[in-house]
């Protein structure tokens, strides 16, 4: 039986622990201490580290963890990421025998060039590409790449649970509502998110279905959203132009 547990870290990161009663893999350990606490408290051993991309808040705990548990680090190699021991590329599979899980790897550029996503049935680890009602910033590559990466994630089955790396949902929903003031799913998600956060519970994971209903970056063909952007000067209504206008507005929202 596989369990996925959120280990809160830094200001608003989640390090995801994939574990059974003995073995563990962690995703994007930006800090070592909370991971070691979790492992000790639950008497688990660390078997593997998964890395979605090289940003500091995703890799800074790796060296210390490897000093204690000499485990492989699975991710995409990059000259500025010294931690990866197993280079993963588009179409590769990552098999974690101790946990009985196999991930399909897709490359998801547009936030950073080396960003990859780990996909198993009903499970997606997507780092900083998709967030609750939002998406990552475009630090490298093009907005077209970021949009394409998001579209590939959105094409996963509706019941896929999305394990992203930050608790950003409550920050993103006011913008989603500004884009589509009449969208009842966004209003409902705002109420549900408020309840979860008031109880100090994560809003992550969420489903692909919920993202498709409420995430503006996945709704670039939506009539109300386009009309909102048109009142702000949008002329070209191609999906990339709509996506670009959204990303630009969000940065000044
Ligand atoms: Zn990042």
**pLDDT tens-digit profile of 56-71?**
999 999 999 999 999 9
pTM, two decimal places: 0.97
Q: How far is the CA of 56 from the centre of ligand 1 (A)?
A: 8
Q: How confident is the model at residue 62, as a pLDDT?
A: 98
The mean pLDDT of 99-109, rounded to a whole number, is 98
Res 210 pLDDT > 90: yes
Q: How far is the CA of 111 from the centre of ligand 1 (A)?
A: 7
Res 1 pLDDT > 90: no
pLDDT-derived band at 239 (thresholds 50, 70, 90) equals very high
Res 130 pLDDT > 90: yes
Percent share of the chain, pLDDT over 90? 100
Q: How far is the CA of 128 from the centre of ligand 1 (A)?
A: 5
Percent share of the chain, pLDDT over 70? 100
pLDDT-derived band at 154 (thresholds 50, 70, 90) equals very high
Distance CA 162, CA 159 (A): 9
pLDDT-derived band at 180 (thresholds 50, 70, 90) equals very high
Phi-psi region of 92 (alpha: psi -120 to 50; beta: other; left: phi over 0): beta
Q: How confident is the model at residue 181, as a pLDDT?
A: 98
Q: How far is the CA of 109 from the centre of ligand 1 (A)?
A: 11
Q: How far is the CA of 104 from the centre of ligand 1 (A)?
A: 21
Q: How far is the CA of 14 from the centre of ligand 1 (A)?
A: 12
Q: How far is the CA of 183 from the centre of ligand 1 (A)?
A: 29
Give the mean pLDDT of the chain: 98
pLDDT-derived band at 160 (thresholds 50, 70, 90) equals very high
What does the chain look like in DSSP terms, one character per residue? --EEEEEEETTTEEEEEEE-SSEEEEE--S-SHHHHHHHHHTT-EEEEEE-S---HHHHTTHHHHHHHS---EEE--BTTBTT-SEE--TT-EEEEGGGTEEEEEEE--SSSTT-EEEEETTEEEEETTEETTEE----SS-HHHHHHHHHHHHTS-TT-EEEESB--HHHHHHHHHHH-TT-HHHHHHHHHHHHHHHTT----SEEHHHHHHH-GGG-TT-HHHHHHHHHTT----SHHHHHHHHHHHHHT-
Distance CA 227, CA 234 (A): 9
The mean pLDDT of 220-246, rounded to a whole number, is 98
Distance CA 206, CA 17 (A): 16
Q: How far is the CA of 175 from the centre of ligand 1 (A)?
A: 20
Res 90 pLDDT > 90: yes
């Amino acid at each position: 039986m596989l369990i996925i547990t959120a280990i809160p870290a830094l200001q608003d990161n989640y390090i995801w622990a994939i574990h059974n009663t003995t073995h563990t893999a962690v995703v994007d350990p930006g800090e070592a201490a909370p991971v070691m606490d979790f492992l000790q408290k639950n008497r688990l051993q660390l078997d593997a580290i998964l890395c979605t991309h090289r940003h500091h808040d995703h890799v800074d705990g790796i060296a210390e963890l490897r000093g204690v548990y000499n485990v492989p680090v699975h991710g995409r190699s990059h000259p500025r990421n010294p931690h990866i021991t197993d280079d993963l590329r588009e179409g590769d599979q990552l098999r974690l025998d101790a946990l009985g899980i196999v991930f399909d790897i897709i490359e998801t550029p547009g936030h950073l060039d080396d960003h990859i996503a780990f996909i198993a049935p009903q499970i997606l680890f997507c780092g900083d590409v998709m967030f609750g009602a939002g998406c990552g910033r475009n630090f490298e590559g093009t907005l077209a790449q970021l949009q394409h990466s998001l579209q590939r994630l959105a094409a996963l089955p509706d019941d896929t649970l999305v394990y992203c790396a930050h608790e950003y949902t409550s920050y993103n929903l006011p913008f989603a509502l500004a884009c589509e003031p009449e969208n009842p799913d966004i209003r409902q998600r705002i109420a549900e998110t408020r309840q979860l956060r008031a109880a100090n519970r994560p809003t992550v994971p969420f489903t692909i279905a919920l993202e498709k209903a409420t995430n503006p970056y996945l709704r670039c063909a939506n009539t109300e959203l386009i009309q909102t952007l048109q009142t702000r000067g949008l002329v070209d209504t191609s999906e990339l132009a709509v996506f670009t206008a959204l990303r630009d507005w969000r940065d000044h929202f």
